[in-house]
Chains A and B, each alone.
Chain A
């Protein structure tokens, strides 16, 4: 399996007559993009498209998802299979990437659980999406009383459609760089790199249901048994976020597309280990589901003869139980583990960080304490609804001050404690 990512580096955004890219500037025909997302009858009549650049005095709130514009120009299937395109297998051929650009879905989204992106100031240090050139979609429901699940789906689709559209309009442009990824099938992988340990990536996805959902080829992941996926499929958007949970540690579609664990494992493949496969698993709410999925996922790892797995969590609290079950079940099958999570140690950092624990979890990296409090100074421009800061997870009544500053836990900042490890934040014990 070979996938080439043809990267067009985007450094500027502008509105113009024709959507396309030239000289590092992504020009967007605002009307055309608005027409595209307005096609959805579930969205309201007053939608907006705006631009937020790194360094701008702009706050985007509340943010639902971030998506990187990609479009396949060669090979089977199309980006975001099962969502904006057919369900065919992706991960081979050539895909155009508008590197440095992102689509951000915002506006009054669902309730409570959405995030903040500051494009400058102290908050910008914490979110990786302050460093992307953001095309911001300001969304609203067709009617305020509509079913929240329908509205979530409409917002999710709007982001994906916009991202696919932007990259499709740039498909003819010349790429600044091309990256080639080869990934062996299981037969080859079993005999490749003799002497190196065979390893996998156990990729946990938030699937608690009720607006906490992730989709694989359009399939609702809470309804699947753990399965194997090639890392190259993930790059083509096989995994899509449908989550309305705490912003800091939900995995945006963008970070799935750019999964840094996969990236580093591919870099070290053939040198430190033999990277055989990703195993996608879910984080369901019932104990039977947790037991079934953790047993099944670790069984797959054992069937494939893996010596070790890296396990990443999504979310916190309830999914800590899934993380811990995956960990000890793998270890007891003789499969070594390293875990990637984040912490909820209280605002003072003095409480225990995880809701579950096991002695086998002796190699654990954390992306920081999400309860730590930060003051975000006022920004000149707010895209969205600033008052949502008082009700989003990580905020409280009074988070938004009269001068426009916001005092919140890092929990409220999109991607601040990414459990795919997309930031440099961590924590230590003092």
Chain B
């Protein structure tokens, strides 16, 4: 039996119109539309497009969450085995919509999703980690090349065939690191690469050093007298027993703990969940990592207005940057909502 595919395209490729029609709301057609014909040819008897979703680029861009949910609702009854979006070439809003829909659909239905874009399409940077995006030329002139490559990859994913490298399969590197066993010890590979570098021969590094985002420190607090200060730590301080089971390494969560009336973090009530340092001294006196005692003293002296009644803690030990970024964004949202004006971040 042929695999059931749902195809996503914009208003232009559906023949509705260009920019002036970009605000059309999503609709679904039980038909093969526009580039779908090329996919039909490429799929042959292995797969068939059972429905085509059409949505205006502007509508999607201005209503991303709503449009995504609407489309998911429309697709559901077709019970798709896979999802294909575009190709969007270098059309920015279209690419973003294709990427977003691939991400949403694969998450919702746990099925393969493939799109096609020009590498500089902003949809690539946003969604390459969550979807396979075939590299295409920058305009629809590349349709004949893009569609067979997208169809081939989609069929491979459906069949569960082991994929080759991104270059071999034609998709844009997703930036996901995957372990594999090599034929040689890592030591031997390293010495071999070293010799090539010494001799000026070509070699391929196994890991391209990343470029980091840098966060400039905030300016000093001008009005300390009126500051509401919160404590946030990656040092793992939590109530004794670690009630939220924050992991000793590679934390998947952070904790929020009320310290109303707490003047001192004593060893009978607080400890650390951190597995990356010797916990002896933090367990004996958690103020060493999260200085509640000192701040209470300063609060009393009137150095600042108030110590916030909650602190936030996670374990910064082998913790993925993506998790840390999410914790940070969530914690900041809560602190701002609670009227906190300054934060002391303690690490270990």
**Chain A contact residues, CB within 8 Å of chain B:** 111-113, 125, 148-149, 197, 199, 208-212, 244-246, 259-261, 263-265, 268, 272-273, 307-308, 310, 312, 316-317, 336, 338-341, 343-354, 356-359, 361-372, 391-398, 409-411, 418, 420-430
Contact = CB atoms under 8 A, between A and B. Distances in A.
B184 A424 contact: yes
Interface of A is mostly: loop
A369 B275 CA distance: 19
13 contacts: A111-B279, A317-B276, A344-B250, A352-B210, A354-B207, A357-B211, A364-B207, A365-B205, A365-B207, A371-B320, A393-B248, A411-B318, A425-B181
Contacts of A199: 194, 198
Given A268-B195, A336-B197, A427-B207, A371 B181 contact: no
B341 interface: no
A308 to B, nearest CB: 5
B194 A429 contact: no
Interface-central residue, A339, A352, A353, A370, by most chain B CB under 10 Å:
A352
Given A344-B320, A363-B205, A366-B207, A260 B177 contact: no
Contacts of A357: 209-212
B187 A422 contact: yes
Interface in B253-290: 275-280
Interface stretch (B2-10, B89-97, B109-117, B168-176): B168-176
Contacts of B78: none
Contacts of B197: 308, 336, 338, 362-363
Given A393-B276, A396-B247, A427-B180, A362 B320 contact: no
B186 interface: yes
A358 B195 CA distance: 21
Nearest to A148: B280
B245 to A, nearest CB: 4
Contacts of B207: 341, 343, 353-354, 364-366, 427
Contacts of A348: 176, 320, 322
A208 B175 CA distance: 31
B123 to A, nearest CB: 17
B276 A261 contact: no
B326 to A, nearest CB: 11
Contacts of A272: 195, 198-199
Interface string B186-206: 111111011101110001011
Interface residues of B, number: 56
Give the 6 A-B residue pairs with the shortest CB-CB distance, closest first: A421-B187, A346-B320, A210-B278, A421-B186, A338-B194, A260-B187
Contact of A364 (B205, B212, B252): B205
Nearest to A271: B195
A339 B208 CA distance: 12
B179 A148 contact: no
Nearest to A344: B318
A263 B318 contact: no
Contacts of B175: 350, 429
B216 interface: no
A423 B248 CA distance: 25
B173 A429 contact: yes
Contacts of B206: 364-366, 426-428
B209 A336 contact: no
Given A392-B248, A421-B189, A350 B318 contact: no
A280 B181 CA distance: 29
Contact of A426 (B189, B199, B209, B248): B189
B129 interface: yes
A210 to B, nearest CB: 3
Contact of B178 (A244, A424, A428): A428
A316 B209 contact: no
B179 A112 contact: no
B141 interface: no
A427 B275 CA distance: 25
B225 to A, nearest CB: 32
Contacts of B106: none
B24 to A, nearest CB: 34
Contacts of A308: 194, 197-198
B185 interface: yes
B163 A426 contact: no
Contact of B179 (A211, A410, A411): A410
A367 B186 contact: yes
A353 B320 CA distance: 9
Nearest to B213: A352
A149 B163 CA distance: 49
A411 B250 contact: yes
Nearest to A420: B187
